[in-house]
Amino acid sequence: MNTAVIVVDGVTPALLTALAWLMPSLISSTLPFGVRTPAERADAPVIAEQRGRYRWRVALGGAGLIAAGLLLSAVLPVSVVTPVVLPAVVPLLTAVVCLVCYHRARVAIMAVKRREDWYRGLRQGVAADTSLRTDPERFPWLWSLPALLICAGTAVAGVLYYPSLPDRLPLHFGSSGAADRYGAKSVGTAFFPVFAQITTTALILVVTWLAFRSRPDLDPARPADSARRHRRFTVRTAVSLLVLAACVNLTMFVGAWAMWHRDQKVSVVLALLPILAGLVVTLVVAFRTGQGGSRLPAPEGAEPEEDTGVVRRDDDRYWHGFGSLYVNRADPAIFVAKRFGIGWTVNFGNPRALLVFGLLLSPVVVLPLLFR
């Protein structure tokens, strides 16, 4: 069986399935499947039941799709496998299955929450910590150096190789690792990997920097403790994303090297190994940290904070589309913490956030059109 098929239709969906299976453990106990719940309901039977069902569905669905994809790749002729299976059909279907499983669990928990009126008689509120603005954590700029150095190294190598490059360069490599599409030599074609590296690095840096200063979702029951967790969470998550940027740039360097040495084949495993390694690092950091720092232990010697008796306000009405899209026109925040997943998402109710989202998305759309 082709190595590319194993990586794309085997390893990638396996990582997606593993991430989806672990996701309930990465989220705060008061946000099961993106549903805001008071702490006293964290052990509600419906939550434990839906968590178990979700994991069984994700495991069976992911395993079935992986097996089906690899089986079809082994049975179908290469002329069918290459255009049909390799363009990430199985990973896409895996993501869809996991999303459907998540949605079913979310709907079931929300139904019980409404029926039993979980927030009846509770004091709801929000908490803010001004020190997060007046004395914020320092952005870990040093961790961006590997990505920047790899990008600079690729650019220098391209300048050195450019005079000796042939008139036609490979633009695409097939599943076997051999070039199957060529284009005329130009600055755009020869340095496309460098431009892609610059764009990727800039996007990750900008998004991480903006999200680093996003509005924290503090627990009004224990605001000081949740503020400490938020600080540690933002630093750890930013570092893992910057490491991922370096890994992505390394994969692009492998692609550039193959383009500049057209007589060589591209090893799919070698090309994708850095990205897979970066994803594993990100997953490990996420598992040890938890969304918003929910899995972090209390600092040694820290005094336990007394519960104020106030619970986070029930803000489910602002989350739409499977509970993943945050739309709140009254909230000035551009980035907010995700409900299900690790990291941040955009406030689609804020015009400034929509502008930032469009500006960040534009290079991804424009770059391939300029240098195709």
The pLDDT, as a whole number, for residue 33 is 93
Percentage helix, strand, coil, to 5, in the chain? 65, 5, 30
Per-residue buried b or exposed e for 190-201, using 16+ beta carbons within 10 Å of the residue's own CB: bbbbbbbbbebb
Residue 263 CA to residue 164 CA, distance in Å, equals 14
- Considering the domain architecture, whether residues 101 and 140 belong to the same structural domain is answered as no
User: Does residue 130 share a domain with residue 106?
Assistant: no
Q: What is the pLDDT of residue 106?
A: 94
- Shared domain for 112 and 215, answered yes or no, is no
- The number of domains in the chain is 2
Range of lowest pLDDT (6-20, 166-180, 333-347): 166-180
**Which residues make Cβ contacts (< 8 Å) with residue 357, sequence separation at least 6?**
346, 348
145 by DSSP, 3-state: which? helix
Contact 304, 42 (CB under 8 A): no
Range with the poorest average pLDDT among 2-11, 319-328, 359-368: 2-11
Task: Let me know whether 57 and 97 are in one domain.
Answer: yes
pLDDT single digits (tens) 86-131: 456 778 888 899 999 999 999 999 999 999 999 999 999 988 888 8
Q: Are residues 29 and 158 in the same domain?
A: no
End-of-domain residue from the set 122, 155, 172 = 122
So what's the pLDDT on residue 149? Answer: 96
Do 172 and 270 sit in the same domain of this protein?
A: yes
Write down which residue in 53, 88, 122 finishes a domain.
Answer: 122
- 117 and 187 both lie in a single domain: no
Q: What is the DSSP letter of 144?
A: G
> Per residue in 29-60, pLDDT tens?
889 999 999 989 989 999 999 999 999 999 99
| High-pLDDT (> 90) share of the chain, % | 33
Q: Which helix (H) or strand (E) holds 184?
A: strand 179-184
What pLDDT digit, counting tens, does each position of 204-238 carry?
998 899 888 888 888 898 888 988 899 999 999 99
Q: Which domain holds residue 320?
A: 125-372
Judge if 96 and 132 occupy the same domain: no
The answer to whether residues 98 and 231 belong to one domain is no
On whether both 132 and 102 belong to a single domain, the answer is no
